[in-house]
Amino acid sequence: MGQHIDNLAALIGSRICHDLISPIGAVTNGLELMSMSGGTGPELELVNESAVNANARVRLFRLAFGQAAPDQHCRGEEIAGILGDVYGNSRLTVDWAPPTTLSRPDAQALILALLCCEQAVPHGGTVSLSGLPNGWRVMATGPRLAPDAALWANLSRPFHDSDLTPAHVQFALLPRLLAERGKACTYQITTTAVSLTF
């Protein structure tokens, strides 16, 4: 029953993202046309920036929370582009030399791990994604780390849904997805970094 509910949630996430991406893309295209016909100003720039960011976030959330079939693959440069659009003008830097392609489940796990690490660096920092011989490491460093130890502990034990908030759903979803693939994640918190390995 639990796996059916998880699959249903992934389908819902995919549907929401799919239905939002077209109108957001249309707004972005419309703003681009306005700027080409002489429309300028800080207001138009702000709206355009917001539309581009919304488009990128929906694509990121589609990767993180949408359906990920094992036989699907993603282009590494496409994911790097999404990360650049989301984090390019933020206090968070993402350091990653993406492979040419990676499986959709690997991409999903990487994005969920990145979202977990993002929680630990609320004042900005760097999140590094590194390939390992049999998996991945995602590590966050920053001037003022603030990981929530209780949230991070849930990565290695069953998460009680009653404790779940929308902002932290990645901490519940990542271990479940990895368990479905026969994998687990380990994490480490130090005074200078937090890291996830899976």
Instruction: Please check the confidence at residue 4 and state whether its pLDDT lies above 60.
Output: no
* Position 102 in a domain: yes
Mean pLDDT of all residues in 93-121: 95
Q: What is the structure's pLDDT at 68?
A: 86
Q: What is the structure's pLDDT at 166?
A: 83
151: nearest Cα among 160, 143, 142: 160
Q: What is the structure's pLDDT at 115?
A: 96
Bridge partners, residue 93, by sequence: 126
Mean pLDDT of all residues in 131-135: 93
Q: What is the structure's pLDDT at 39?
A: 67
* Position 39 in a domain: yes
* Position 2 in a domain: no
Q: What is the structure's pLDDT at 1?
A: 42
Instruction: Please check the confidence at residue 6 and state whether its pLDDT lies above 70.
Output: no
Instruction: Please check the confidence at residue 132 and state whether its pLDDT lies above 60.
Output: yes
* Position 134 in a domain: yes
**Number of separate domains in the chain:** 1
**Cα–Cα distance, 146 to 183 (Å, whole number):** 27
Q: What is the structure's pLDDT at 3?
A: 57
Residues of the domain holding 103: 7-197
In the chain, the amino acid numbered 162 is S
Q: The CATH number of the domain where 88 resides is what? A: 3.30.565.10
* Position 51 in a domain: yes
Q: What is the structure's pLDDT at 169?
A: 87
Q: What is the distance of C-alpha 70 from the center of its chain?
A: 18
Tens of pLDDT along 32-49? 777 777 767 777 777 777
Tens of pLDDT along 141-196? 998 999 999 889 989 876 666 677 888 889 989 998 999 899 999 999 999 999 99
In the chain, the amino acid numbered 151 is L
Confidence of residue 8 (pLDDT cuts 50, 70, 90): low
What tokens does 91 get? 């206090």
Q: What is the structure's pLDDT at 152?
A: 93
Confidence of residue 120 (pLDDT cuts 50, 70, 90): very high
* Position 1 in a domain: no
Instruction: Please check the confidence at residue 127 and state whether its pLDDT lies above 60.
Output: yes
* Position 121 in a domain: yes
Q: Find all residues with CB under 8 Å of 12, minimum gap 6, and list them.
A: none
Q: What is the structure's pLDDT at 53?
A: 82
* Position 60 in a domain: yes
Tens of pLDDT along 43-94? 777 777 777 888 888 889 989 988 888 899 999 999 999 999 999 889 999 9
